[in-house]
Amino acid sequence: MTADVVVEPGIVATNVIDSAREGDEGALTEVVRTYQPFLVRYLRGLGTGDVDDVAQQVWIDVASSLHRFSGDGVHLRRWICTIARRRMIDAHRSRVRHQEQPVAAPPDAGGVDPDDPAALDWALGLIRRLPAAQAEVVLLRVLLDLPVSEVAHVTGQSPGAVRVMTHRALAQLRTLLEGPVESGEPVDGVGRSVLFGSLT
**pLDDT tens column, 25-49:** 999 999 999 999 999 988 888 776 6
pTM of the model: 0.55
Domains of the chain, earliest start first = 6-94 (1.10.1740.10), 117-196 (1.10.10.10)
Residue among 156, 153, 159, 124 nearest 139 (CA): 124
What's residue 94's pLDDT?
65
Contacts of 119 (CB under 8 A, 6+ apart): 106, 107, 112, 113, 194
Segment 81-98 shows an average pLDDT of: 75
Give the amino acid at 195. Answer: L
Q: pLDDT by residue (tens digit) across 136-156?
A: 898 888 888 889 999 999 899
Predicted pLDDT of residue 7: 63
* Contact of 6 with 76, CB cutoff 8 Å: no
**pLDDT value at 112 more than 70:** no
Q: Would you say 76 and 17 are in contact if contact means Cβ atoms under 8 Å apart?
A: yes
Name the average pLDDT for the chain.
78
